[in-house]
Amino acid sequence: MPSLRSRTKSWLLGGALCGLAGSVLAASAPRTAQAPTPRAKPLFNAHGTYTFDAASSEIDYKSHTGAFHKITIQQGKITVVANRAHASGLGRPDGEWTLQGNVQVHAPPHGSLTSDQAVVQINDSQIARVTVTGSPAQFRQQSAQGRITQGHANQIIYNVTAGTVHLSQKAWVAVGRDKFSGPSILYNIIQERIQATSSGSGERVHITIAPRKRSHRGSPPGPARAPQPAGRSS
């Protein structure tokens, strides 16, 4: 297995990162002349060549695997940082990336994830699911209207196709000033909807809805004042 010990910066689009980069590029390629079907917008979306900076890396082209230490992966505005990474299925339609140790995913303005470990699953050359685990794992997203949604749980699964984030095991989500907690919370990124469910052990869902301030625009006029006699003022 060949080893690269010096700190490198590479554009291994056709090698080590071919599976991951090809999955994003394949999703953006035009398929037919007809009007495109609306799809869920990925939380971490970018186009272009992947580059990475690693303290050390080992790539086995025969087994289509790779191991990386102190890695930073970049594509467009996306930056993924982890202490360790292992990839399987490099250059193949199906594969998996396992990131461990201080995992941070930054993709402004779409959102961010932080966790102890992350697993990226690639099916048919497309990123199908991202699973992050931690104590706890955390996510944050800002909508086009500026609304902040953030949450944490022991496990968070981002389903790219469905456009959902599923938090389980001590799940907590805040949408603005509203708060939800329970064993399982499903957040739909596109529809901005939350579904919280309780467990069979009797653990219940807790919801806190903050009161909204009354808007002054469109308020009904106050009571009419009685006319004053001539020569008098109130």
Q: What is the pLDDT of residues 15-70, one digit of tens each?
A: 333 343 333 333 333 444 444 444 444 544 444 456 778 999 999 999 999 999 99
Contacts of 115 (CB under 8 A, 6+ apart): 103, 132, 133, 134, 137, 138, 156
Q: How many folded domains does the chain comprise? A: 1
Under DSSP, the state recorded for 161 is: T
In this structure, is residue 224 part of a structural domain? no
In this structure, is residue 131 part of a structural domain? yes
Distance (Å, whole) CA 32 – CA 48: 22
In this structure, is residue 228 part of a structural domain? no
∠ CA 121-127-129, nearest 5°, is: 50
- How many Cβ atoms are within 10 Å of 213's Cβ, its own excluded? 6
Q: Which helix (H) or strand (E) holds 27?
A: helix 18-28
In this structure, is residue 57 part of a structural domain? yes
> Where does the pLDDT of residue 12 fall: very low under 50, low under 70, confident under 90, or very high at 90 and above?
very low
Say whether the peptide bond before residue 30 is cis (omega within 30 degrees of 0): no
> Domain with 88 in it: what CATH number?
2.60.450.10
Q: Which two tokens stand for residue 76?
A: 């467009």
Distance (Å, whole) CA 213 – CA 205: 26
When the pLDDT of each residue in the chain is averaged and rounded to a whole number, the result is 74
In this structure, is residue 191 part of a structural domain? yes
pLDDT value at residue 75 = 66
Range(s) of the domain holding residue 142: 3-29+38-208
In this structure, is residue 219 part of a structural domain? no
Query: Where is pLDDT greater, at 195 or 21?
Result: 195
Q: What is the pLDDT of residues 120-154, one digit of tens each?
A: 888 886 778 889 999 999 999 888 788 899 999 99
The answer to whether 137 and 155 have CB atoms below 8 angstroms apart is yes
The alpha carbon dihedral of 53, 55, 60, 63 has a sign of: negative
In this structure, is residue 225 part of a structural domain? no
In this structure, is residue 23 part of a structural domain? yes
